[in-house]
Amino acid sequence: MPIPRTVHRHLDVNGVRVFYRESVPDREDAPVLLLLHGFPSASHQFRRLIDALGSRYRLVAPDYPGFGHTEAPDDFVYSFDHLADVMEDFVQKLGLSRFVMYVFDFGAPVGFRLAERHPEWIAGLVVQNGNAYSEGLSDSARGLIALRPETPGSEEIVRNLLTLPGTRSQYETGVADPELLTPDSWTLDQHFLDLPGRKEAQLALMFDYHSNVQLYDSWQGWLRRHTPPTLIVWGTGDPFFPEPGARAYLRDVPDAELHLLDTGHFALETHLPEIAPLISGFLDANA
């Protein structure tokens, strides 16, 4: 099977040069999947998924400000509300009006903000270790969320997470077979984390993460009101977002399709052959 063509572009969005990857499918009217990446990665985490599905579907994967190849001005204010503002403008400028949204890690708080602002955009959700429930927070995640910049030692704790060992551990923890992981992933993530200003951006976002927890009730209400078709694929060894966070979605979208996988946070790294057909079937049925 031929590998689909993927284009790599920048789009100016109110002073932010948003980098994004986009597949060019065989059909102009192909279903659209918006891929919202996690921490500390960027759109490159989806490159194998784009290769697997890009000939049949239009996959669009942007980098947020502070991540990947996106270029933000020096005075950009890093908060989850502001990331969502940029992604909202990006979607509108790209002309996307109806799509399935893939939310992973940081992609969940960005994506659910978009969903609340524009429910008409959302044809369905693919949730992969993207948390929206208090029971989906591990003790270590709760500890990080509780950090505040004025608390002594908080910045050091976060900066330790932004080192190469910290980045690598996010890939390896909970993975049954580490040989399935390519070191290219965490090496590339670390390259971007080590660029000027990037660690400061991540500090600001980590200290803002509590704003997401405060919105969990609102997002759950959105799910109950709109009951979007939902596919949940979840690595059960995730050190941040454990399995109860996946099952909790079934309270609000009881018809959701749930698949639990014996892997860690970055489930696509080890289980692409299982996940890609699930997404394909979901897009065929709902996009």
Rounded to whole angstroms, how far apart are CA atoms 238 and 248? 15
Provide the token pair at 25: 């499918």
Contact 77, 85 (CB under 8 A): no
The active-site residue, picked from 37, 44, 265, 271, is 265
* Secondary structure string (H, E, C) spanning 240-267: CCCCHHHHHHHHHCCCCEEEEECCCCCH
3-class SS of residue 232: strand
Tokens describing residue 189: 């993530």
CB of 140 within 8 A of CB of 206? no
β-pair type (230-235, 99-103):
unpaired
**DSSP H or E segment with residue 62:** strand 58-62
Closest CA relative to residue 46, chosen from 27, 77, 23 = 23
Residues 6+ apart with CB under 8 A from 195: none
CA 64 – CA 233 distance, rounded (Å): 23
Q: What are phi and psi of 105, to 5 degrees?
A: 50, -120
Task: Give the CA angle between residues 225, 117, 84 to the nearest 5°.
Answer: 125
What whole-number distance in Å separates Cα of residue 38 and Cα of residue 45?
Answer: 9
The tokens for 67 are: 């991540």
Q: Is 265 a catalytic residue?
A: yes
Residues with a catalytic annotation lie at 265
